[in-house]
Every structure is written in C-alpha cells, then in structure tokens.
Amino acid sequence: MQYNVIFLPLLTAFIITAAVTAFCLPLMKKLGILDDPKKHKHPAIIHKKPIPRGGGIPLFAGMFLASLFFIPFTGMVATLFAAAFLALLVGVLDDKYDISPYIRFGINIICAILIVMAGANIPFITNPFGGILHLDTIKLPFSFLHLEELIAIVWIVWVTNMINWSTGVDGQMPGVVAISAIVIGLLSLRFPLSDQNTYTAATLSFIIAGSALGFLLFNFYPARIFPGYGATSMYMLLAVVSILSGVKLATAIMVMAIPMIDGFVTIVRRIATGHSPFRHDNKHFHHLLLRLGFDQPQISLFYWIVSAIFGLISLTLPSRGKLFAIVMIAIVVGGAILTLHLLVRGNNEKKSI
C-alpha cells in the first residue's frame, strides 16, 4: 500500500512535470511569457537576461495528471483541483501581464473559500498542554463561518503567499516545497490509510513532492524557467494537505519555518515603514544573504537543509515539544533576520560615506 502511496505517485509526478517543463520552455518563449529584467521593473530581480516564466503550468500538469492515476476523484478532490486551476489561470495571466497584486490576493481568498466549503477545514487542534481544542463548535458572530473554517481559509491564503515570496533564488522554492510535502506525507502515514482524507493527503503530498523535484531539474541555478505566480496552485495544495488528514499545522510551521518567519517579518516591516504589505522590495531573507556574499546555490541549499532538519525534528516531537520548538525557532530565525537587516543597513551606510 505505501509503495502505491509514496514511490509510484512521486515518480509519476516527477516524470510528468519534467517532461512538460521541457515542452514548455520553447512554448513560453514563443508566447512571450518571459521575465525580462529590462521590461519587468521589479526591485527583487537578480537575473540579467530574459528567462521564461509560467512554471506553474508544468507543476499543475504533473500534480493533476499523477492524481488521476492514484487518487479517487471525489467531490472534494475535484474542488481542490478546480480551485488550483483557477489560481493557475490567474497566475499565468500575471506572468504575462503583471496584473494587480490585490486582484491576485482576492482570487487566493476565493480559492481558499471554495476549498474550505468542500470540506477541507480544521475541526480541531491538539492542545500542547493536554486535550483537544474543538474549533468546529465555535460559531463566529456576524458571520456564516465557524472558527474552523476561518482558520483554514487564513492558513491556505497565508501558505500560498508565504511560499510565493520564497522564489527569489534559483531552486529555492522547489526544494523547500518538496521537503515540506515529504515530511507532511510521512506524518500522514501515521494515520489509517483506510480513511479517504488521510489517503488523499498522504498520496497528494508525495505527488506534490515529485512535481516539485521534476521542476527543480530546470529551476536550479542557473534557472532555465521560473515558477511564476501560476505556481501558487502548488502552494495552495500544499497548504491543503497539511490540514486534510488530522491537523499538522505545527509540523508544517516547523518545516516551513524560514519562509514563514521571513514572510511575517516582511509584512510587519512594510506596514511599520508605511508601505502596503503587497509592495515589492528586495529585502527578503534570501536577498540579505545575497548582499552578504552568498551565491544562489548556497542559499538554496541552506533553505533545503534547514527545512529538512526542522522537518525531521518535528516528526519526533510531541505536541508540547513542537510548541516549544516553534517558539525557539521563531526567536532564533527572527532574530537572525533582524540582525542581517541591521548588518546590511550598516554596510550600505559605510559605502555611502
């Protein structure tokens, strides 16, 4: 059974994604879906020549086609991929035309609502101090939502955008997504696979991992294609599998700790300086590491190694241990990011003197 849940889905998604990516490379160039640093005025751009965008297309193709082989297409699964396809469609349009970030964010929310209404929510969380916190019994005032549904919507939107911010360095995103999906999939195997949601979560996790690894062949430095905003379809499904079978939020938070903390710091920093949270800049954690002299492969490997270490630790800890680990990771990683901001600012001031 685990052979059909782990290896075959992962390998199938890997092969399909790699094949479709190779096909899409000349197609994206022909359609003009390119990230041209001379035309695309984005402060975070670090490449020097036009590189195809639209990597979300092969990523979605790998996940969807592999799922047709290994996952029963229930109403929930159909809704998941319908929402992911909507995210892909909007993302590819953004790759081509650079549409408003507010429109993209609004579509993220709509997709998350569709997924949650299909049944992917968070009915409970494990209390690290003992017992279970039942969220499905709490009805929100002045709302048609229960607390479980609101938290699930926020979680899906947050993970979707947080991982999207971790695409600034070649190979960074596919490695982090693959490791995160594998860790979530391994944790899902601790639950009975006879449960439909558990089986879907476990199998889809390894499909996501395979698709990310297939894309990594073309995205590692020097990248031949970028994921583009259409890859949010993958991030959205990763968020869903983290909640679909049991509640693995603590595990997901640990394995994606650096992107999550960097995303939180980014939002706070932008708001504190009077800017919109959607305002583009080049002050993410990976940009700071670039300014300190690290190259792109080193930064990607750093993200992968830390994600793998935190993921393995999360698999061995009880709920209370995970809470303590999350607090410690937040303090250490958050402190490191803030320290790097100060170091970079100091270096810039010295150069300007």
Query: 169, 301 in Cβ contact below 8 A?
Result: no
Higher pLDDT, 192 or 164: 164
Confidence of residue 173 (pLDDT cuts 50, 70, 90): very high
* Strand 34-35 versus strand 51-52 pairing type: antiparallel
Cα distance from N-terminal residue to C-terminal residue, the chain: 65
Q: Quick check: 128 pLDDT over 70?
A: no
pTM equals: 0.93
Mean pLDDT of 317-341: 86
Q: Quick check: 247 pLDDT over 60?
A: no
- At residue 240's C-alpha, the angle toward residues 239 and 245, to 5°, is 120
Rounded mean pLDDT of the chain?
88
pLDDT digits (tens, 9 = 90+) for 36-76: 787 766 666 677 788 999 999 999 999 999 999 999 989 99
pLDDT at position 86 is 97
Q: Quick check: 343 pLDDT over 60?
A: yes
Mean pLDDT of 17-35: 94
Mean pLDDT of 137-151: 75
